[in-house]
Amino acid sequence: MSNQAASAASPSRVTTTGWLLSGQRATISNKLRNNQSFSDLLQHCETLPVIPREIEDILTIKTSERHRWLSDGRLPSAGTRNVRLNGRARRITFHVFDPKVVEDILDRGLVEDWREEDAISKAENRRKAAYAAKLTRSLKALGKAEKAWDGAGNIRADEKAHEQATALRGWAEFDIDGLLR
């Protein structure tokens, strides 16, 4: 069996456009049968939706970044596709992306901006968690065993308990010795 015959028997894979979906395979094969030029075929391929692995390669992003940006709406999806791969009983569902949107994101350099926003958000979340942990430790030092924060990152402690926990003791005696001048 030649390479061309083997590729016809398996799911069509074109290296420039990735995995083609069954409806797209039929459209391309019909165009080839109707003797349309290869350049016309390439123009059609430019309008095909971009699959997840391709968008990661094009934008040079990680899978976790793609998932994060897709879930918070920064990376708009053009829809989802269901595919049943050969040899598998289950169908897989994945998001596809509009090539014009991908080109716009790449041209405007939004990936770097999004990474900076993520770094700022990550630092802020770490700062909140460190403060909550500090407050919890200080409340435990006072004998209060309740948590200082709820699961959403909001501080629940009252101001008086916080002031007592973080107040410095012994400064009056230190000031009497004249060392604070």
| Residue 53 CB contacts under 8 Å (≥ 6 apart), including other chains | 18
Question: So what's the pLDDT on residue 123?
Answer: 95
Which helix (H) or strand (E) segment is 14 a member of? Answer: strand 13-14
Residues 60 and 70 in one domain: yes
Residues 123 and 145 in one domain: yes
Q: Is residue 177 part of a domain?
A: no
Q: Is residue 179 part of a domain?
A: no
Residues 17 and 59 in one domain: no
pTM of this prediction?
0.56
Residues 102 and 122 in one domain: no
Question: So what's the pLDDT on residue 87?
Answer: 81
In which residue ranges of the chain is pLDDT below 70?
1-38, 41, 142-175, 177-181
Residues 62 and 78 in one domain: yes
Q: Is residue 175 part of a domain?
A: no
Four-CA torsion 7, 42, 95, 114, nearest 10 degrees: 130
Position 106, amino acid: L
Question: So what's the pLDDT on residue 25?
Answer: 52
Question: So what's the pLDDT on residue 151?
Answer: 53
Residues 70 and 85 in one domain: yes
Range of the domain at 53: 49-108
CB atoms within 10 A of CB 135: 20
Residues 62 and 44 in one domain: no
Query: Does residue 157 contact residue 139 with C-beta atoms inside 8 Å?
Result: yes
Q: Is residue 23 part of a domain?
A: yes
How confident is the model over 53-91, as pLDDT tens digits? 999 999 999 999 999 999 999 999 999 999 888 887 888
